[in-house]
Amino acid sequence: MRILLTGGTGLLGIELLKLGADLIAPRRSDLDITDASAVADYVDELSPKVIIHAAAVTNNRDIEADPSDALNVNIKGTVNLAQACLGSQMRLVYISSDYVYKGDRGNYSESDEVLPSNLYAWTKLAGEAAVRAVANHLIIRTSFGASIFQYPAAFADKWSSKQYVDEVAPKILNAMIDTNAAIFRYEIYLRCAWLLRFNIFLETSWFTSMTTRFMA
């Protein structure tokens, strides 16, 4: 199965590529997703069965300072990919974020109300809106971080349900072939929006092992 991956040089993309699936992952220099005609031509020529769209501008602080890149890449870029899929059976798998939820409680379901608390999440939600126009789509609202804990210290009283990226990547590939799925939510979400609101998100930690405690 021919699969096009955007964002192959990113944290998630690198992990997906390690899994050895049949992924074709052009670098940004080969396919800039903000270029509508380049996207249309590339998709037309490659004619993939699935597009995993993981390219995005993800640095929340940069986006708050200047959202123009995020508007271009996260919204227009996603619109370009969605448009390239229209009228075909191509499956568009969109890597969205748990930040689309308000984040003041856990255990969100796919049908729960969304209310982003930062610009990054609004751009991801706008991307979701475009993806929904594609007949065969899958939106994955996930949360992950690097496999190695990056911080010297951790809060003991802050919780989220982030997973390690190497745990999330195989789940995404499995979900990709589940044709019954339209929106997937991996794990629950707890208090992250609060952390973002108080601008301490870079200092917080995440504890995969505690996820099940909140799911119980």
Location of structure tokens 């940004």:
28
* Residue 28 C-beta: closest distance to ligand NAP, Å: 4
* Residue 177 C-beta: closest distance to ligand NAP, Å: 19
Count how many Cα atoms sit within 13 Å of the Cα of residue 128 in the half-sphere of its side chain.
23
Residues in contact with ligand NAP by CB under 6 A are 6-13, 28, 32-34, 54-58, 73, 77, 95, 97, 124, 142-145
Active-site residue, from 108, 120, 186, 189: 120
Residue 205 and residue 155 in contact, taking contact as beta carbons nearer than 8 Å: yes
- CB nearer ligand NAP, residue 90 or residue 161: 161
Contact partners, residue 75, CB within 8 Å, separation at least 6: 123, 126, 127, 130
Count how many Cα atoms sit within 13 Å of the Cα of residue 100 in the half-sphere of its side chain.
25
Closest CA to 51 of 181, 145, 138: 138
Q: How far is CA 68 from CA 63, 91, 170, 205, in A?
A: 8, 28, 32, 29
- CB nearer ligand NAP, residue 35 or residue 87: 35
Q: Which residue number has the CB closest to ligand NAP?
A: 10
* Residue 45 C-beta: closest distance to ligand NAP, Å: 17
- CB nearer ligand NAP, residue 35 or residue 104: 35
* Residue 194 C-beta: closest distance to ligand NAP, Å: 17
- Catalytic residue status for 120: yes
Q: Annotated active-site positions, please?
A: 120
